[in-house]
Amino acid sequence: MNIPNQITISRIVLIPIFLLFMLVPFEWGVINLLGTSIPIAHFIGAIIFIVASTTDWIDGYYARKFNLVTNLGKFLDPLADKLLVSSALIVLVDLELAATWIVITIIAREFAVTGLRLVLAGGGEVVAANNLGKIKTWTQIVAISSLLLYNIIFELWNIPFGTISLYVALFFTVWSGWDYFNKNKEVFKNSK
């Protein structure tokens, strides 16, 4: 297995560690940053999420730079993204930091596009993420990171950046999902 794929696997391995810090009620106190109080365990969990998210850029960079793009990587990379993002979104609902309907919409889109990818893969076609899908992923990561960090910095100015960025992520999530299905509509026309 090449290095980019190992980095992608590391993103998957970090998910249960992230969940541990976010969901187990550790009584480690709180940290005060820029006027915002965050439970220490949640702060650590947020950092783990951010580190795991950056591996998405790192594995893609190395895969392209050293010509290590593989079908396994094209499959694993978006799967790792979906697992990480879905886990974090569900945590945000559990912590009452994100609206359930937004999270359901985002996760439903992820399942739908994954299903489309599987249908295409059955026909021998592996679809890598396009630019719109990458924008969708990064807007989700920014929104989730901000919400996991309890809106640090922006809380000083009373700006709900996390919530605003979650709506932006929702917009790109729906748009990119529509784009994937629109570009591959022949799959449905040709199905029997």
Residue ranges per structural domain of the chain:
3-186
**3-class SS of residue 30:** strand
Radius of gyration, CA atoms only, the chain: 18
Residue 157's pLDDT is what? 64
Residue 63's pLDDT is what? 87
| Residues 44-92 pLDDT 10s | 999 999 999 999 889 888 888 888 888 788 778 888 988 999 999 999 9
- Alpha-carbon distances of 173 from 17, 26, 120, rounded to whole Å: 26, 33, 20
| Residues 11-39 pLDDT 10s | 999 999 999 999 999 999 999 887 788 99
3-state secondary structure 38-57: EEHHHHHHHHHHHHHHHHHH
Range name among 2-16, 115-129, 160-174, 175-189 with the lowest pLDDT average: 115-129
Superfamily the domain 3-186 falls into: CDP-alcohol phosphotransferase transmembrane (TM) domain (1.20.120.1760)
Using a pLDDT cut of 90, give the percent of the chain over it: 56
Residue 64's pLDDT is what? 86
Residue 92's pLDDT is what? 96
Residue 67's pLDDT is what? 87
Question: What's the whole-model pTM score?
Answer: 0.88
What values do phi and psi take at 159, rounded to 5? -105, 125
Residue 153's pLDDT is what? 62
Q: What gap in Å lies between CA 28 and CA 78, rounded to an integer?
A: 34
Q: Which pLDDT band, with edges at 50, 70 and 90, does 189 fall under? A: confident
Q: Which pLDDT band, with edges at 50, 70 and 90, does 192 fall under? A: low
Q: Which single residue is written with the structure tokens 């912590």?
A: 95
For the ranges 65-69, 82-86, 131-135, 184-188, the one whose mean pLDDT is highest: 82-86
